[in-house]
Amino acid sequence: MTGIDHSVAPFAVHIPDVELEAEPLAAEQIVSGDPVVTGKVLWESPDGKQLRGIWQITPGVVTDTEANELFVVVSGRATIEFEGGTVIEVGPGDACVLREGDRTTWTVHETLRKAYHISL
């Protein structure tokens, strides 16, 4: 990603107030509803393999192929169904670990905002 200062000093942000940018979903990812995704990368490693940021999705049902990710839900609720049968419910204060390559279906009940760390 361009424009990110990799030498930035330590910082803090108030996650609910961070202004996010549009991250359009591919049409084939939308199962139902009209979900809108926004996000912001707060930090990226110099080699581009580590990302930290904030991500948000409005209600609806979408499919995804996951990255190696740890996230913490700040607000909202969703049900994440994994191919193979595992189902995880997430809401405010929940931490979730996703495995790279897992195929999921997200049913977003309330606009969900999360802080994440992704390892590529």
Whichever domain contains 72, its CATH number is 2.60.120.10
Strands 87-90 and 50-57 turn out to be unpaired
Q: How far apart are the first and last CA of the chain?
A: 13
- pLDDT in single tens digits along all 120 residues of the chain: 455 665 678 999 999 999 999 999 999 999 999 999 999 999 999 999 999 999 999 999 999 999 999 999 999 999 999 999 999 999 999 999 999 999 999 999 999 999 999 999
Say how many residues make up the chain: 120
Q: The domain containing residue 102 runs over which residues?
A: 26-119
Residues 96, 71 contacting (CB under 8 angstroms): yes
Q: What is the dihedral of CA 89, 98, 50, 28, to 10 degrees?
A: -80
- Asked whether residue 9 is assigned to any structural domain, the reply reads no
pTM of the full structure:
0.91
Residues 58, 35 contacting (CB under 8 angstroms): yes
CA 59/CA 110 separation, integer angstroms: 6
- Asked whether residue 94 is assigned to any structural domain, the reply reads yes
- Asked whether residue 114 is assigned to any structural domain, the reply reads yes
